[in-house]
Chain A
Amino acid sequence: MTDTLDKAATDTEVSTVTTMTMASALNAGLRAAMERDPKVLLMGEDIGALGGVFRVTDGLHKDFGGDRVMDTPLAESGIVGTAIGMAMRDYRSVIEIQFDGFIFPAYNQITTQLAKMHYRSGGRITLPLVIRVPFAGGIGAVEHHSESPEALFTHTAGLRCISPASPQDAYDMIQQAIACPDPVMFFEPKARYWDKGEVDTSLVEQKLSSADATAALGRARVARAGEDVTLIAYGPTVRTALLAADVAESEGTSIEVIDLRSLSPLDSATVVRSAKKTGRAVIVHEAPTTYGVGAELSARITEEAFFHMEAPVMRVGGFHLPYPASKFEHDYLPSLDRVLDAVDRVMTH
């Protein structure tokens, strides 16, 4: 990262655009936030000298010290609970839960305390924590390392839940999440950690007040415009959705891809506007379709765009099973073919 900056400084014009992986973008975003505010702390297991199991916190321990980049005891509930106590003295902790499947010991603290403290205190206690969760699958892992538990959190009032799908969004959104006064569940698609993309590091600077950062976090993005079908995705499935749109285009179907970015709140307006335009909607996420985020979107589209719909809203996602062993993974996860099947089916109407 430092090499890139040095190089940039020797150019006649300082370019703020670089190509980086999502993991690096997160790293850069965390660094920027820590430089900006001394009250920003990182807490998690193995985030110090190791730099995190995905190297997202690489180099930060060295530059900011063990006080600000804290290797914690192996106790997720303890991490979240002590971070809550520290937030009562204005510390903004960014917690890393090592893997999605290990968030459950902390579920009590997250749902009964973190989510409810602002409401319980009549607005007197603010807990501006960010809980980073490497989530979703596709990395051939053993049990508990490929979960998509986001619906368990979106269903809890008091939390904000977001998921970046690109390095640019990862860079911007981690900083906005830190600036947001509400607790934020930050779901990072681990299968995308090594995807590269262009990141303009200047974009986010102006928009970091509480209000601006929060508002920016809540917006969906039209990743690709289209006319025939609205395809909604977030996190790891945005890439799948864009691939599906390419294939569909070659077959004569024009797909509009929406990257939700924010799960709670949902940017209903963007989604509904698109659904009204195309009259056909398909939602794709790795989490099981049963009782998932797609079900909420389907309900909203039905309530708000019923008379515009040419076909029922379709969802493509995981099956109602514990996440399977990795050899089954690619049959479990929503593939390009399953997405296109849903597209074909809505196109028959």
Chain B
Amino acid sequence: MDAHGPLSSEGLVQLLTHTGERVEHDTYSAYAADLTPERLRQLWRDMTLVRAFDMEATSLQRQGELGLWVQSWGQEAAQVGSGRVLRGEDFAFPSYREHGVAFTRGVDMPDILKIFRGLQHGAWVPAEHHFHLYTMVIGAHTLHATGYAMALDRDGLTGTGDPERDAATICYFGDGATSQGDVAESLTFAAVHNAPIVYFCQNNQFAISESVTRQSRVALADRGKGVGIPSVRVDGNDVIACYAVTQWAMQHARSGAGPVFVEAFTYRMGAHTTSDDPTRYRSKADEEFWAERDPIDRLTAHLNAIDELPQDFQTDVAAEAKELAKRTRTAVKSWVRPHVLEMFDHAYAEPHATVETERAWLERFERSFADAEA
């Protein structure tokens, strides 16, 4: 695109063109060296499954089974590519659209829908997946990620000299979030404390209906430059480049060299949520342009071109995708809201007199009805 500033394609790191050709980059090619065809097939499988899950969730919402759904459609490369870099004590802080990252962190995908089915606010155990809960307040979690990174450092897990031991935090947020004060404060704290954190901004070009040009007049990666940390712009639909840049960034942070700002330039193929109507603020032409730059298609093209996408593999993955979709649907429809008194659990870690009194009252109130359960 011939746009300037935050919509510019200038200087985007790319290792796979949108038509599926491999290209090289002086700095980052080296960080994709471990992506053998086998590994590329795995990335292809990851993205395919994530998309299938996303489409199923969308259908479920359209069928009235979910109150809302937030699609990750179009951002699979950025999320899967970066997510597959994480290991050991690395910890990821998502916003609320990172289902692709969730997948790479071993979250059981249907669980995510508990949030959108209105059963829970948080649907997995962060410590088990090194993947924090979704945070609905835009940008608020970037501070948590920064603090976590500061703690990793304190715990001696940064720059130990042992790359296997070193760990860092990666924090995901969108273009709109970069305007939030908390994001600015996160960068400030991270810079001053040299915290081991990779800020991974998915510039999907929209904050609901507002173009990123409403958030910035320069490339978003310049935010990182503003606090004096290395900042990179990458083609967010190029899974190989996303993987490579994240690999470099995480190694940088883990080694104790400090924070990094990565901007993945991508496109939100769907609406902000299922309640949004993009026809009111963007054109079909725009969407078609970006459909041609689909992250999965270009990898398919590439693997086919190098004859590394056998038919039986594709069939297997298709079956897996179908199975995941079906399992998701069955799970969603099977969930029962827990007993109303569970609403009082976990407001506090230790008993709080008011909560206890009110819980007891609601219990008596519910029992006072003629149709109450025995």
B186 within 8 A of A: yes
Inter-chain contact A118/B192, CB cutoff 8 Å:
no
Inter-chain contact A218/B151, CB cutoff 8 Å:
no
Which residues of A (49-101) have their CB < 8 Å from a CB of B? 67, 72-73, 75, 77-78, 80-89, 91
Q: A77-B182, A77-B185 are in contact. Are A157 and B347 (CB under 8 A)?
A: yes
Max chain A C-beta neighbours (<10 A), residue from B120, B135, B150, B348: B348
Inter-chain contact B345/A123, CB cutoff 8 Å:
yes
Inter-chain contact A181/B350, CB cutoff 8 Å:
yes
B346 within 8 A of A: yes
Residues of chain B lying within 8 A (CB to CB) of residue A280: none
Quick one: closest A residue to B136, CB to CB?
Answer: A112
Inter-chain contact A265/B143, CB cutoff 8 Å:
no
Q: A82-B186, A268-B353 are in contact. List 11 more A-B contacts (CB 8 A).
A: A73-B189, A75-B185, A78-B143, A85-B146, A85-B148, A91-B154, A105-B181, A112-B140, A121-B346, A124-B126, A214-B351
A122 within 8 A of B: yes
A296 to chain B, nearest CB (A): 10
Inter-chain contact A158/B154, CB cutoff 8 Å:
no
Quick one: closest B residue to A76, CB to CB?
Answer: B185
B33 within 8 A of A: no
CA distance A182 to B353 in the complex (A): 14
B118 to chain A, nearest CB (A): 14
Inter-chain contact A75/B188, CB cutoff 8 Å:
yes
Inter-chain contact B145/A85, CB cutoff 8 Å:
yes
Partner of B151, one of A88, A116, A118: A88
Inter-chain contact A182/B348, CB cutoff 8 Å:
yes
Quick one: closest B residue to A43, CB to CB?
Answer: B147
Which residues of A (267-316) have their CB < 8 Å from a CB of B? 267-268
CA distance A328 to B354 in the complex (A): 37
A109 within 8 A of B: yes
Of the four ranges (under 10, 10 to 19, 20 to 34, 35 or more), the interface on chain B belongs to: 35 or more
Residues of chain A lying within 8 A (CB to CB) of residue B26: none
A264 within 8 A of B: yes
Residues of chain B lying within 8 A (CB to CB) of residue A108: 137, 140, 182
B94 to chain A, nearest CB (A): 14
A201 within 8 A of B: no
Residue pairs across A and B with Cβ atoms less than 8 A apart, 12 shown, are: A81-B182, A84-B143, A84-B147, A86-B154, A91-B154, A113-B140, A118-B348, A121-B125, A123-B349, A158-B347, A181-B350, A265-B352
Quick one: closest A residue to B188, CB to CB?
Answer: A73
Inter-chain contact B349/A89, CB cutoff 8 Å:
no
B127 within 8 A of A: yes
Binary per-residue interface labels of chain B (155-185) against chain A in the complex, 1 for a CB within 8 Å, 0 otherwise:
1000000000000000000000000011001
Report how many A-B pairs have Cβ atoms within 8 Å: 144
B322 within 8 A of A: no
Q: A75-B188, A91-B154 are in contact. Are A265 and B354 (CB under 8 A)?
A: yes
A160 within 8 A of B: yes
CA distance A125 to B145 in the complex (A): 14
Residues of chain A lying within 8 A (CB to CB) of residue B367: none
Which residues of A (166-208) have their CB < 8 Å from a CB of B? 180-182
CA distance A77 to B180 in the complex (A): 11
Q: A73-B192, A81-B186 are in contact. Are A119 and B346 (CB under 8 A)?
A: yes
A114 to chain B, nearest CB (A): 10
B152 within 8 A of A: yes
Q: Interface on chain B toward A: helix, strand, loop, or mixed SS?
A: helix
Inter-chain contact B121/A113, CB cutoff 8 Å:
no
Q: A108-B137, A125-B126, A266-B353 are in contact. Are A82 and B152 (CB under 8 A)?
A: no
Inter-chain contact B121/A120, CB cutoff 8 Å:
yes
Quick one: closest A residue to B127, CB to CB?
Answer: A124
CA distance A233 to B154 in the complex (A): 42
Quick one: closest A residue to B192, CB to CB?
Answer: A73
B308 to chain A, nearest CB (A): 40
Residues of chain A lying within 8 A (CB to CB) of residue B140: 81, 108-109, 112-113
Binary per-residue interface labels of chain B (181-207) against chain A in the complex, 1 for a CB within 8 Å, 0 otherwise:
110011011001000000000000000
Residues of chain B lying within 8 A (CB to CB) of residue A230: none
A48 to chain B, nearest CB (A): 14
Residues of chain A lying within 8 A (CB to CB) of residue B60: none
CA distance A81 to B189 in the complex (A): 10
CA distance A13 to B349 in the complex (A): 40
CA distance A122 to B349 in the complex (A): 10
Task: Name A's B-contacting residues (CB within 8 A).
Answer: 67, 72-73, 75, 77-78, 80-89, 91, 105, 108-109, 112-113, 116, 118-126, 128, 157-158, 160, 180-182, 210-211, 214-215, 218, 264-268
B122 within 8 A of A: yes
Residues of chain B lying within 8 A (CB to CB) of residue A91: 151, 154
Residues of chain A lying within 8 A (CB to CB) of residue B348: 118, 158, 160, 182
Inter-chain contact B349/A77, CB cutoff 8 Å:
no
6 closest residue pairs by CB, A with B = A81-B143, A85-B147, A78-B185, A82-B147, A89-B151, A85-B148
Residues of chain A lying within 8 A (CB to CB) of residue B347: 118-119, 157-158
Partner of B149, one of A85, A125, A266: A85
Residues of chain B lying within 8 A (CB to CB) of residue A214: 350-351
Inter-chain contact B144/A113, CB cutoff 8 Å:
yes
B133 within 8 A of A: yes
CA distance A20 to B345 in the complex (A): 41
Partner of B143, one of A67, A82, A119, A180: A82
Residues of chain B lying within 8 A (CB to CB) of residue A73: 185, 188-189, 192
Partner of B354, one of A67, A84, A124, A266: A266
Inter-chain contact A120/B137, CB cutoff 8 Å:
no
Partner of A88, one of B137, B144, B181, B349: B144
Q: A73-B188, A89-B152, A182-B348 are in contact. Are A81 and B122 (CB under 8 A)?
A: no
Residues of chain B lying within 8 A (CB to CB) of residue A84: 143-144, 147
Quick one: closest B residue to A82, CB to CB?
Answer: B147
Residues of chain A lying within 8 A (CB to CB) of residue B126: 88, 121, 124-125
Inter-chain contact A78/B189, CB cutoff 8 Å:
yes
Inter-chain contact A109/B350, CB cutoff 8 Å:
no
B222 to chain A, nearest CB (A): 20
Residues of chain A lying within 8 A (CB to CB) of residue B189: 72-73, 75, 78, 82
Residues of chain B lying within 8 A (CB to CB) of residue A122: 120, 122, 345-346
A135 to chain B, nearest CB (A): 22
CA distance A15 to B20 in the complex (A): 80
B168 to chain A, nearest CB (A): 13
Inter-chain contact A86/B186, CB cutoff 8 Å:
no
CA distance A125 to B349 in the complex (A): 9
Q: A109-B143, A157-B347 are in contact. Are A86 and B151 (CB under 8 A)?
A: yes
